[in-house]
Structure 1
C-alpha cells in the first residue's frame, strides 16, 4: 500500500505546486519555470511507477507490447528530468546570488523555458533506447514480463551505468559544490528577501534530493562493482529487501516537494 499512497499524495501535491508556480505572482520568477517543470516531471515518473504497480491488482498494462516499452522509456525520461531540473534550479540560484549584476540578463523566464525544453530534448534522444531494447517475454508458466531483449542486455547494463553517473554522481557533485558556496549557503545581503527565500528553498530541495537518492543509487553502484568481480554473485534476501526499501525511499523524492516548498517558502505559502 505504500507505493500507491506515495503516488496519490505526490500527484496531488505536484499538480498543486504546478498551478501555484504558473498561475500566481510567482510565475514572473525564472525559478518558478524550473519548479513547475519539476512538478510535471515528478508526476510523469509517479504515473509510470503506478502503471508498473498495477500488476498487484491484476491490471498489468505494463506487460503488454507497446505499453511496456513506453513506460520503461518514460521512467528513464522523467527521472532524468527530475534530477536535472533540480540542478538547473541550483545553478540558476548560484548565478542570481553570487553574480547579482547578471541576474536580470541570465536568470530570465524566457531563458529558463529554453533550458527546460533543451533538457527534455536531450533526455528524449538519450533514453529512446528503451523503445527498442525492451520487449515482453511470454514464459511457459507465469505472467508475461517486461524486460530487456536477449541481445540487448549488455547494452542496457552499460546505459544503466551511464545513467547512474549522469543522474546521481554528476548532479550530486554540482549540488554539493554549489551548496558549499558561502553566498549560496547563507543569506546574502545583496539579495532581496524573495531571493533569500528561494535560495533557502533550493538548499532544502537539493539536500533532500541527495538524502533520498543516495541509498538507492548506492545499491546500484555496489551491485555493478561486485558483479565485475563475481559474475555468479547472487544477492541475499536481506540485501534484496533493503534494495526494495530504499527504492521506496527514492520514490518519496518525487512526492514531497510541496511540503518542502510550504515549509521554507513564505511566498509559496501565500501564493498557495
Structure 2
C-alpha cells in the first residue's frame, strides 16, 4: 500500500479549490518527519535480515528430507515472493529518499513507458502472491488436518506446483490494468492523468483493500478456525483413552500437528502485520468521504504513523524464517544438518591440507 495511491485519493477527493477556481498545490509534507526517518533506517535492516532468512528457508525446504512435502513448495514460493517484495520495498524507499531529501530525480526517471508498466505490474503481483500463498497454505492445512485420508491435489507435490502456477496466472490477470493505466509521468511511474481517478479506485479498493487483505484474511481466518477446532477435538478425543495409551496417542497427535501449528502462526502473523496498514487506509478513506478538504490536514498529521504502519507490514515478508525456527522441529533439524555438513566439510578439507603438507 503505497503513499502515492493515498495521496492521489486525497488530492482527487478533497477538491481543494482557491477563489480563482484553480486547484491548490498540495505538498504532502508531514509536520513531523520522524516516521520518514524511522522508515529510512528500519527498511534496509528488515530487508537484509528478511532476505537472508528467506534464503535459508528456501535451502532447508529444498533439502532431501522436506522437498517432497506439499507444504515445502508453498513455503519455498513464499520465500521467493517475500524476498522480491522486500527488494521492491527497498527500491521504493531509496527512490523516496532521492526525491524528498536529495531533491534529485528518482530511480525511475530513466524508465520509459514500457519499463514503468512492467515494474509496476511485477511489483504488485509479488505483493499479491505473498498474500495468496498464505491462503494456499491455510487451505492445504484444512485438508491435512480435517480430512487427512482424503486425496486432494493441493496436498501432492505435483498438485502444489500446479496450484502455485495457477495462482500466479490469476493474480497476474487481476493486475493487468496496470499495463494500460501506468506511464512515465515526470520521471515517475504513475497513472496517466486520463486514468487517474479510475486507477486510484482500482489500486486502493480492488488491490489494496480487497485482494491484498480482506479476502485473504477472511479465508485464512476461516481455515485456521477449522484447523484449530479439529486439533482440539483430536486432543480431547485422546483424553478418553486409558492413561498409558493417552500419553502415547497425545505424543503422536502433537508430532503430527507441529507443522500445522507452525503454519497457523505464519498465517496469523500475516494478518497482524498487515492489519495496521489496512486500518489506516480505511481511516483515510472515511476522512476523504466525510471531511472533504479537511482530509488533507488529517493525512498530513497522520503521515508519520502511515510510515510506521508500512514498517510493521514489512515484517510480514521477513519474519517467517524465525517462526520456522521457533515452531518447526523438522526445520530446525534440517537447518542444523546444513551447518553441521558445512563445518564437517571445512574440517575435512583443513585436515586433508595439513596431511598433504606433512607428506
**TM-score, length basis structure 2:** 0.69
| Distance in 2 of aligned mates of 1:121 and 1:238 | 40
Residue 154, structure 1, aligned to residue 197, structure 2: yes
Partner of 1:73: 121
Aligned pairs for 1:89-168 (under 5 A) are: 89-103=137-151, 107-138=155-186, 144-160=187-203, 161-163=205-207, 164-168=209-213
Measured against aligned partners, the alpha-carbon deviations of 1:116-149 in whole angstroms (never above 9, x if no partner) come to 00010011111132233122322xxxxx333211
Give, in angstroms, the shift of residue 48 of structure 1: 1.4
> Closer, same or farther in 2 for the Cα pair 1:174/1:225, shift >3 Å?
same
Find the residue that maps to 2:174 and give its secondary structure.
helix
> Closer, same or farther in 2 for the Cα pair 1:192/1:30, shift >3 Å?
farther
Partner of 1:214: 275
> Closer, same or farther in 2 for the Cα pair 1:98/1:44, shift >3 Å?
same
Partner of 2:45: 5
Residue 205 of structure 1 contacts residue 257 of structure 1 at CA under 8 Å; is this kept in 2? Answer: yes
Partner of 2:220: 175
Partner of 1:141: none
Structure 1 residues without counterparts, runs of 5 or longer: 139-143
Aligned pairs for 1:240-259 (under 5 A) are: 240-259=303-322
| Distance in 1 of aligned mates of 2:118 and 2:319 | 26
**TM-score, length basis structure 1:** 0.89
> Closer, same or farther in 2 for the Cα pair 1:49/1:98, shift >3 Å?
same
Partner of 2:59: 19
Find the residue that maps to 2:318 and give its secondary structure.
coil
Partner of 1:225: 286
| Distance in 2 of aligned mates of 1:212 and 1:270 | 28
| Distance in 1 of aligned mates of 2:202 and 2:288 | 16
CA RMSD for the aligned pairs? Answer: 2.2
> Closer, same or farther in 2 for the Cα pair 1:246/1:105, shift >3 Å?
closer
Bigger drift between 21-30 and 252-261 goes to 21-30
| Distance in 1 of aligned mates of 2:147 and 2:181 | 45
Partner of 2:71: 31
Measured against aligned partners, the alpha-carbon deviations of 1:203-228 in whole angstroms (never above 9, x if no partner) come to 11011111101010111122223323
Find the residue that maps to 2:317 and give its secondary structure.
coil
Larger radius of gyration: 2
Does 1 or 2 have the higher relative contact order (CA < 8 Å, sep 6+)?
2
| Distance in 2 of aligned mates of 1:79 and 1:213 | 12
Find the residue that maps to 1:172 and give its secondary structure.
helix
Give, in angstroms, the shift of residue 236 of structure 1: 4.1
| Distance in 2 of aligned mates of 1:62 and 1:15 | 28
Out of 78, 84, 94, the position equivalent to 2:132 is: 84
| Distance in 2 of aligned mates of 1:24 and 1:205 | 23
Partner of 2:343: none
- Number of positions where the alignment pairs a residue of Structure 1 with one of Structure 2: 267
| Distance in 1 of aligned mates of 2:312 and 2:117 | 25
Find the residue that maps to 2:67 and give its secondary structure.
helix
Bigger drift between 201-210 and 229-238 goes to 229-238
